[in-house]
């Protein structure tokens, strides 16, 4: 074999190394952007597969929400904004984003205000070209200047989550007549282009900058299919179709936004909402009570077919519904104590006696999906990500066999109680005179804060078990306004929380569990977590380029959250339960993310 001449090949190596040193080349404009892989739909798609392009338009849809509201600005910390304006469940009815998310893929975006998107392999920048037809509801065109205005405004006065995302932008610039380009800092991750594409675009000419961060009941101008036509503070918001809506024939909107009117009505609690549904004042009721789903629909409208109950299979992870332990409180600083407390929730008794056995116990933040660590031993790749932290994770969590302690369901299982007491002893607690005393000689005590009375039976069942071992537990039921204020400032010991999960968890985890969110009011880090291992794994999730690496990172992350015992896991529904009036119809296909109400329609539409 002939030998290579070093002098001859030197120029070739110089070219190769120079090419490797260059920034990644742009891939060219595209119709879509996926977190991992390629969009499932081609550039010529006509509608999302879960939307019916022949759905009739007309009629009114009545939603119901528990609680109250005092603001029409959903983008700021102050005030309780009305649902239905910028809402992943009820629809982005008033405000819209650069791109639309497909609910049948883990995390993929398609055109909306932006007709195309461009980025490079390393996602060091993203460039959006706006649709020339895009208009605000007052008829003014949506300009690249409006996009930059929105980003700067949200970064200064928006929710911390928005500030966190936009803070990773190094430079914003207008490109040509309809282009806007964002160049990212080195600390940005691969998800940031998608997150920016999902931020609202607000009109510079019709937005009060000075008062933007203050709650308001003055309707704001957006670009969505509806405008706010009537407001009764704390009671309802009425939306009317914008007849000049710019995207009514857009592929990302075909088969959506089928009602002429939408009303979001607020009720004092869940029971009041259900009574309104029985009387036909509410059209769709998302059921969360297993006992009511099983036995509570024996009323005339349900018996004669005017009300229909449906079970929907979904492909999402379970999420985590549980009692959050606020580690900012000194009694919850010890992880051994948190594990002991979590071990005293008698799910088997609760499920049978309160919920007719309808629920399954949650064993992971991503239960029921490939992202879950349950049933899967930690791989070599996971252990490499965890590093030395793996030594602090219980063996049963690492090997995938962990599940919350189970009782015999009798409510008097001594073995169940004994296991928890052993953990209390390890943490330096002892029983004296019927009271569980800590190392400081004081009785362990805490308060469970509830938003309304609906979860009181659940809290009382846990309270009874805790009091049997000498823990002093009080339950405080507060109204929605007080609950949200205390939640926002972390003024609670324990509260109920639902951590929703998707097939593509990402940057939102920073505000849920990241150290930087611990001491900022208004974040979702209710547990007060501040763990370098959590921070590192969030970055691993965000930097993953392949689905395999992404799944590995999420499973390792799941194990660290479970090991931290920040949440007492409760349960989840094996299916999604929805009841509807029989004149409300929906497409035959259900996407991965479950029923999409914006695709439903009124059978009596004009």
State what percent of residues in the chain have pLDDT above 90: 83
* CATH tag for 96-204 (out of 1.10.10.10, 3.90.1300.10, 3.90.76.10, 1.10.357.10): 3.90.76.10
Per-residue pLDDT band for 26 (boundaries 50, 70, 90) equals low
Rounded to the nearest 10 degrees, the angle between the axes of helix 456-468 and helix 347-354 is 140
> What mean pLDDT is predicted for residues 82-108?
96
Report the 3 state secondary structure along 516-532.
HHCCCCCCCCCCCCCCH
Residues 521 and 488: beta-carbon distance below 8 Å? yes
> What mean pLDDT is predicted for residues 511-540?
95
What does the alpha-carbon distance between residue 459 and residue 497 come to, in Å, rounded to a whole number? 13
The tokens for 22 are 């260059």
In the CATH scheme, what is the homologous superfamily, with its name and number, of domain 49-94+224-314+575-606?
Answer: Periplasmic binding protein-like II (3.40.190.10)
> What mean pLDDT is predicted for residues 172-190?
95
End-to-end alpha carbon distance in the chain: 82
* pLDDT tens by residue, 208-249: 999 999 999 999 999 999 999 999 999 999 999 999 999 999
Residues 95 and 222: beta-carbon distance below 8 Å? yes
Specify the pLDDT at position 404: 94
What does the alpha-carbon distance between residue 13 and residue 10 come to, in Å, rounded to a whole number? 5
Specify the pLDDT at position 24: 44
What does the alpha-carbon distance between residue 203 and residue 213 come to, in Å, rounded to a whole number? 16
Domain residue limits, the chain: 49-94+224-314+575-606, 96-204, 320-572
Collect contacts of 131-134 with beta carbons under 8 A, ≥24 apart: 131/178, 131/247, 132/178, 133/246, 133/247, 134/223, 134/246, 134/247
* pLDDT tens by residue, 287-339: 988 889 989 999 999 999 999 999 998 888 999 999 999 999 999 999 999 99
Specify the pLDDT at position 289: 83
Specify the pLDDT at position 11: 37
Lowest mean pLDDT among 188-192, 345-349, 435-439, 492-496: 188-192
What does the alpha-carbon distance between residue 68 and residue 82 come to, in Å, rounded to a whole number? 8
Nearest Cα to Cα of residue 125 among 167, 186, 177, 176: 186
Query: Residue holding tokens 């009820």?
Result: 90
Collect contacts of 358-361 with beta carbons under 8 A, ≥24 apart: 358/290, 358/291, 358/293, 358/294, 358/573, 359/290, 359/571, 359/572, 359/573, 359/574, 360/571, 360/572, 360/574, 361/403, 361/404, 361/406, 361/569, 361/570, 361/571
Report the 3 state secondary structure along 403-447.
CCCCCCCCCCCHHHHHHHHHHHHHCCCEEECCEEECCCCCECEEE
* pLDDT tens by residue, 396-426: 999 999 999 999 999 888 888 888 899 999 9
Mean confidence (pLDDT) of the chain: 92
Q: What angle do CA 267, 272, 278 make, to 5 degrees?
A: 120
Query: Residue holding tokens 């798609």?
Result: 45
* pLDDT tens by residue, 545-559: 888 999 999 999 999
What does the alpha-carbon distance between residue 309 and residue 294 come to, in Å, rounded to a whole number? 10
> What mean pLDDT is predicted for residues 349-361?
90
In the CATH scheme, what is the homologous superfamily, with its name and number, of domain 320-572?
Answer: Dipeptide-binding Protein; Domain 3 (3.10.105.10)
Specify the pLDDT at position 313: 86
Specify the pLDDT at position 605: 67
Specify the pLDDT at position 20: 36
Q: Residue 511: is its pLDDT beyond 50?
A: yes
Per-residue pLDDT band for 575 (boundaries 50, 70, 90) equals confident
Per-residue pLDDT band for 6 (boundaries 50, 70, 90) equals very low
Nearest Cα to Cα of residue 133 among 151, 115, 145: 115
What does the alpha-carbon distance between residue 604 and residue 436 come to, in Å, rounded to a whole number? 62
Other CB atoms within a 10 A radius of the CB of residue 503 amount to: 19
């Amino acid at each position: 074999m002939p030998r290579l001449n070093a002098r001859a090949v030197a120029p070739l190596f110089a070219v190769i190394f120079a090419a490797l040193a260059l920034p990644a080349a742009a891939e060219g404009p595209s119709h879509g952007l996926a977190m991992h892989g390629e969009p499932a739909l081609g550039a010529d798609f006509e509608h999302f597969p879960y939307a019916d392009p022949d759905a009739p338009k007309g009629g009114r849809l009545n939603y119901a929400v528990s609680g109250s509201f005092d603001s029409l600005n959903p983008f700021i910390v102050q005030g309780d904004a009305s649902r239905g304006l910028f809402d992943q469940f009820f629809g982005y009815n008033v405000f819209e984003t650069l791109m639309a998310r497909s609910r049948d893929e883990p995390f993929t975006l398609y055109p909306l205000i932006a007709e195309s998107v461009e980025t490079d392999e390393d996602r060091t920048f993203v460039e959006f070209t706006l649709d020339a037809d895009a208009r605000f509801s007052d008829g003014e065109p949506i300009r690249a200047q409006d996009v930059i205005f929105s980003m700067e405004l949200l970064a200064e006065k928006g929710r911390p989550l928005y500030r966190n995302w936009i803070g990773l932008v190094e430079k914003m610039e207008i490109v040509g007549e309809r282009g806007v380009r964002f160049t990212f800092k080195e600390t940005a991750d691969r998800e940031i282009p998608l997150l920016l594409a999902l931020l609202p675009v607000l009109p510079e000419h019709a937005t009060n900058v000075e008062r933007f961060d203050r709650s308001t009941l003055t309707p704001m101008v957006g670009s969505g299919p509806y405008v706010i036509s009537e407001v009764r503070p704390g009671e309802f918001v009425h939306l009317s179709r914008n007849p000049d809506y710019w995207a009514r024939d857009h592929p990302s909107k075909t088969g959506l936004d089928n009602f002429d009117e939408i009303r979001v009505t607020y009720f004092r609690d869940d029971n009041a909402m259900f009574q309104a549904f029985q009387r036909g004042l509410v059209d769709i009721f998302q059921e969360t009570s297993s006992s009511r789903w099983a036995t509570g629909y024996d009323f005339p409208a349900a018996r004669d077919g005017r009300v229909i109950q449906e079970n929907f299979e979904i492909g999402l992870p379970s999420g985590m519904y549980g009692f959050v332990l606020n580690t900012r409180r000194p009694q919850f600083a010890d992880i051994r104590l948190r594990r002991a407390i979590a071990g005293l929730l008698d799910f088997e008794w609760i499920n049978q006696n309160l919920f007719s056995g309808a629920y399954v116990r949650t064993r992971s933040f991503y239960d029921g999906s490939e992202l879950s660590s349950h049933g899967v031993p930690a791989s070599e790749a996971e252990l490499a990500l965890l590093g030395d932290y793996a030594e602090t994770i219980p063996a049963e969590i690492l090997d995938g066999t962990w599940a919350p302690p189970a009782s015999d369901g009798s409510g008097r299982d001594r073995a169940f109680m004994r296991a928890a007491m052993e953990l209390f002893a390890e943490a330096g607690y002892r029983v004296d005179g019927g009271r569980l005393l800590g190392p400081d000689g004081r009785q362990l005590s805490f308060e469970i804060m509830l938003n309304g009375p609906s979860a009181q039976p659940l809290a009382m069942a846990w309270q009874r078990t805790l009091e049997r071992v000498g823990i002093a537990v009080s339950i405080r039921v507060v109204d929605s306004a007080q609950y949200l204020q205390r939640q926002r400032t972390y003024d609670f010991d324990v509260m109920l929380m639902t951590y929703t999960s998707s097939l593509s968890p990402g940057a939102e985890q920073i505000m849920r569990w990241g150290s930087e969110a611990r001491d900022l009011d208004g974040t979702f880090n209710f547990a007060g977590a501040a763990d370098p291992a959590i921070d590192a794994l969030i970055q691993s999730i965000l930097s993953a380029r392949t689905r395999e690496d992404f799944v590995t990172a999420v499973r390792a992350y799941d194990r660290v959250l479970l090991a931290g015992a920040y949440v007492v896991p409760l349960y989840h529904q094996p299916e999604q339960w929805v009841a509807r009036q029989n004149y409300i119809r929906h497409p035959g296909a259900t996407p991965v993310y479950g029923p999409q109400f914006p695709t439903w329609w009124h059978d009596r539409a004009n």
